[in-house]
């Protein structure tokens, strides 16, 4: 090999090495740009009520929050898990919602998790919910979230009646004996539905419901279905009628703090226990049973 040929070969090798370095740098930059370009999303999932061996529809929602608005993220694949087992996948629609039909075989309160599938343009923390798989012969106890929190003597804001207020009111402590009594009631007598008042529907955020679920878990309340209805007696009446139409006519009693709650349940011929301190306690219906604390709740039910 001549000196000229050797110089040419070395130049070619240097150029190839230079091109290889440029390509690697470009790929690295591209990967960084792609990672940085991923949207930050928020996943939420609703609790669902089912019966053993019957299909139930699980609803999740993926949104992107910007300033004071939320935008549904459509076209994203979500994966659903029951415990560690993958039970299916669904794509979000234009409003960010995705639905999965699942048939639980065993009764109980099943923990279900939703995650953004790998390779999507969105990053989000997984979200969890409960699929309550219950038999109809066991009675259901409806419990207002506000009845579970310790009522302050001079509250700056009203006692939490909605998921949002429970999550924001400096993490209120549970009412004395509420956890212990509710555990006894759920173990031997009732399935429990935790009732919150707030906005619902496709255009609303379900994140607040997750706040309540986390508050219940953190304070070791027994597992149960978290249900959110709009404020006012009409929405609660409609929800009870909806449950009955679906075959859940075994909602037999309720524990709450509001007069409206008592009136609606009594109109549906249910037993009602109200914690003292409820607003307009003097207007409480005669058939509603007012008690001072959760120890008395157990005796009344």
Residue 33's pLDDT is what? Answer: 40
Question: Which range (39-48, 151-160, 185-194) has the least confidence?
Answer: 151-160
Beta partners for 275?
Answer: 291
| Tokens found for residue 258 | 């509001």
pTM: 0.77
Kindly report, residue by residue over 62-85, the tens digit of the pLDDT. Answer: 999 877 788 999 999 999 999 999
Question: What residue ranges define each of the domains in the chain, with the CATH number in brackets?
Answer: 40-133 (2.60.40.10), 140-300 (3.40.50.1000)
Q: Report d(CA 167, CA 230) in Å as an integer.
A: 17
Q: Report d(CA 257, CA 89) in Å as an integer.
A: 40
Q: Report d(CA 175, CA 173) in Å as an integer.
A: 6
Q: Provide the residue count of the chain.
A: 301
Q: Please say if the pLDDT value at position 22 is more than 90.
A: no
Separation in Å, CA 132 to CA 9, 74, 107, 111, 257 = 73, 28, 8, 9, 25
Which of 2 and 23 is assigned the larger pLDDT? 2
- Residues 6 or more apart whose CB falls under 8 angstroms from that of 59 comprise 45, 46, 48, 97, 98, 99
Residue 41's pLDDT is what? Answer: 92
Instruction: State the number of CA atoms in the 13 A half-sphere of 10 facing the CB.
Output: 7
Which of 166 and 172 is assigned the larger pLDDT? 172
Residue 198's pLDDT is what? Answer: 73
Residue 206's pLDDT is what? Answer: 35
Share of the chain above pLDDT 90, in %: 58
Residue 13's pLDDT is what? Answer: 52
Mean pLDDT of all residues in 269-282 = 80
Residue 204's pLDDT is what? Answer: 34
Q: Please say if the pLDDT value at position 135 is more than 60.
A: yes
Kindly report, residue by residue over 83-125, the tens digit of the pLDDT. Answer: 999 999 999 999 999 999 999 999 999 999 999 999 889 999 9
Instruction: State the number of CA atoms in the 13 A half-sphere of 23 facing the CB.
Output: 6
């Amino acid at each position: 090999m001549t000196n000229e040929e050797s110089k040419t070969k070395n130049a070619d090798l240097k150029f190839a090495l230079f091109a290889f370095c440029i390509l690697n740098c470009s790929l690295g930059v591209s990967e960084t740009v792609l990672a940085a370009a991923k949207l930050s999303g928020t996943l939420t999932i609703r609790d669902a009520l089912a019966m053993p061996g019957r299909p139930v529809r699980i609803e999740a929602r993926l949104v992107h929050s910007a300033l004071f608005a939320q935008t549904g993220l459509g076209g994203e694949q979500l994966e659903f898990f029951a415990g560690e087992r993958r039970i299916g996948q669904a794509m979000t629609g234009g409003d960010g919602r995705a639905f999965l039909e699942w048939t639980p075989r065993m009764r109980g309160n099943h923990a279900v998790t939703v995650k953004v599938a790998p390779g999507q343009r969105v990053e989000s923390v997984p979200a969890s919910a409960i699929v309550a798989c219950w038999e109809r012969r066991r009675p259901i106890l409806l419990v207002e979230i506000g009845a579970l929190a310790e009522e302050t003597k001079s509250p700056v804001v009203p006692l939490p009646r909605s998921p949002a207020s429970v999550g924001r009111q400096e993490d209120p402590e549970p009412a004395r004996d509420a956890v212990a009594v509710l555990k006894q009631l759920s173990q031997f007598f009732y399935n429990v539905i935790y009732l919150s008042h707030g906005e619902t529907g496709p255009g609303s955020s379900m994140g607040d419901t997750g706040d309540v679920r986390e508050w219940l878990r953190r304070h070791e309340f027994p597992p149960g279905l978290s249900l959110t209805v709009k404020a006012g007696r009409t929405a609660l009446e409609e929800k009870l009628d909806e449950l009955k139409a679906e075959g859940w006519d075994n909602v037999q009693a309720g524990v709450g703090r509001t007069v409206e709650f008592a009136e609606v349940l009594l109109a549906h011929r249910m037993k009602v226990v109200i914690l003292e301190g409820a607003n307009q306690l003097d207007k409480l219906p005669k058939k509603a049973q007012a008690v001072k604390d959760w120890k008395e709740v157990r005796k009344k039910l």
